Structure 1
Amino acid sequence: MRPPRFVALGDSLTEGVGDPVAGGWRGWAALLAPGLAPEPVRFTNLAVSGAQTRDVLETQLRAGLALRPDLVSVVVGVNDTLRRTFDIHAVTARLDTVYAAFTAQGAVLLTACLPDPGTMLRLPGALARPLARRQRAVNSVVHALSERYGAVHLHACEDAWLGDRAMWSADRLHPGEKGHRQLAVRFHALLAGAGLATGPAPSPEPASPAPTRGAALWWLATAGTGWVARRCTDLLPQLLRLAADELHHDARGTSARLDLRATQAVSTALAALPVVGRTGAA
């Protein structure tokens, strides 16, 4: 009998950004892997920083299927919300294709919903709310598709750990070591409860201290400026229009229309999925 195979797909969160080790990043998936079984687990991390659902579908999916994993994690979508090309219909169709392909191969699917970047970056309300609305839409899709395909799903978007500064790296967008360990611990608990993880749980205790406020300011003054500039070039013009629309609806007392519009878009996107996606559900 071959050792269990765990393959991780996604973006910088799964790549491990925020949890540095010698030679690169580690992250929650690498911390989780040894606890999946008593024997050694074959672990492959295909996640790439900056990846969107399109990248997972067009690049990571093929590589992941070739490895024939027993367990596959697909955690992606935040980068889609940070692009002017955001389209919940396209996000839904891509995730459905990815989930269906792995479950058809017999893999157990691991998913998560995530906090919105506007809140984590502490943007002003009119700027943060459109991003939050987008992330809620992505999370709603992930919830629905996780149920459809029988995924082991972690609700990571609303818990108290989000407000614990010690959980986060200097950039405030990625977990630090403690945050990655928290994700690994919670994923392990879900898998163990389903009889899918039989090895020891990951340790929640970090080996390195949380970043200081000075480290956060240094990141913003160095690497952070480049990150913000790249996102602003792509997103800022549209985000300003979204913020203006937000303020307009605030003034008229019609903000609920924006939420309703987003909810309807999710419903329409899910309803448009092919029937085979529904019948493939566990």
Structure 2
Amino acid sequence: MALGDSLTEGVGDPVGDGAWRGWAALLAAGLGEGPAWFTNLAVSGSQTRDVLERQLPAALELRPDLVSVVVGVNDTLRCTFDIQAVAARLDQVYAALAEQGAVLLTACLPDPGTMLGLPGALAHPLARRQRAVNAVVHALSDRYGALHLHACEGDWITDRAMWSADRLHPGERGHRQLALRFHALLAEHGLATGPAPSPEPEFPGPTRSASLRWLATAGTGWVARRCTDLLPQLLTLAADELRHRARGTSARLDLRASAAVSAALAALSVAEQPDAA
């Protein structure tokens, strides 16, 4: 079973009639010698709140043996971003699934600012947020014994052939790369015995004209929706970034973000301790 956002829904890997396939479906096909029962609950645009409140109840009802939870990028693209809330939600999701005995798959992801090629003053605040989410995912993956994929690393991030026109979602080749890496991780633990997904695309990639058409239509709408929510705050963060850079105190922003992650994880530890009474 797969929980998450557009990355797991399969955006960037079209299979016709407006449908998406994606890395999770490609991975499911290679888990064993026989067919696997696969359910994809991921929905484009989902944040950690959506996974906790909407996707998790459906997953718990179906009691999956293996479940992926890959989410968090959309949280970083909202003006309401709060790493303590993100950590608390992910902790509840992981805990509930682990309690049922499911094998958890998690991943850390590259930051959207770098992927979009934003100027440094705009990209750095987004990168700092994504590093915070990744740090939380790392810590909670360890806590709940999840199999964790470092998807924020590797040559695939800078290889444009791996990415779709929007530069935020993998294309078919990129989805296959994710499926291959997850398959190798599962095989290492004896949990994938079927054939690994092929790295080679089944369908031709979008032409340059098709990519430009997407950017001029759906892509413009995608950016506009997020700018309405994020841009005013992002401009404030960028101004703060430039002020610290001019003063030579940029390290304070990183320290502040690290302290917020530590506080978020510490709050979870305190919440889990039994009452003294």
Q: Report TM bin, short chain.
A: over 0.9
CA displacement, residues 1-25 of structure 1 (integer Å, 9 cap, x when unaligned):
xxxxxx1000000000000012300
Letter in 2 for 1:215: A
Q: Deviation of residue 276 (structure 1)?
A: 7.7
Match of 1:50 in 2: 45
Q: 2: distance between equivalents of 1:257 and 1:275?
A: 26
1:18 aligns with 2:12: yes
Q: Deviation of residue 113 (structure 1)?
A: 0.3
Per the normalisation by structure 2, the TM-score is 0.96
Q: 1: distance between equivalents of 2:45 and 2:259?
A: 28
CA displacement, residues 13-61 of structure 1 (integer Å, 9 cap, x when unaligned):
0000000012300000000001111121100000000000000000000
Match of 2:126 in 1: 131
Aligned partner of 2:69 among 74, 80, 91: 74
Match of 2:145 in 1: 150
Q: What secondary structure does 2:39 align onto?
A: strand
Letter in 1 for 2:14: P
Match of 1:104 in 2: 99
Map residues 109-128 of structure 1 onto 2, 5 A cutoff: 109-128=104-123
CA displacement, residues 131-168 of structure 1 (integer Å, 9 cap, x when unaligned):
00000000000000001111010001021111111101
For these two proteins, the number of residue pairs brought into alignment is 273
CA displacement, residues 90-122 of structure 1 (integer Å, 9 cap, x when unaligned):
000000000000000000000000000000000
1:252 aligns with 2:247: yes
Q: 2: distance between equivalents of 1:250 and 1:72?
A: 42
**Is the 1:167–1:210 Cα contact (8 Å) retained in structure 2?**
no
Q: Deviation of residue 208 (structure 1)?
A: 2.1
Root-mean-square deviation over aligned CA pairs: 1.4
User: What is the aligned-residue identity percentage?
Assistant: 81
CA displacement, residues 52-91 of structure 1 (integer Å, 9 cap, x when unaligned):
0000000000000111000000000000000000000000
Q: 1: distance between equivalents of 2:89 and 2:244?
A: 31
Per the normalisation by structure 1, the TM-score is 0.94
Change (3 A) 1:192 1:276: farther
Greater alpha carbon shift after TM alignment, 269-278 vs 252-261 = 269-278
Q: What secondary structure does 2:137 align onto?
A: helix
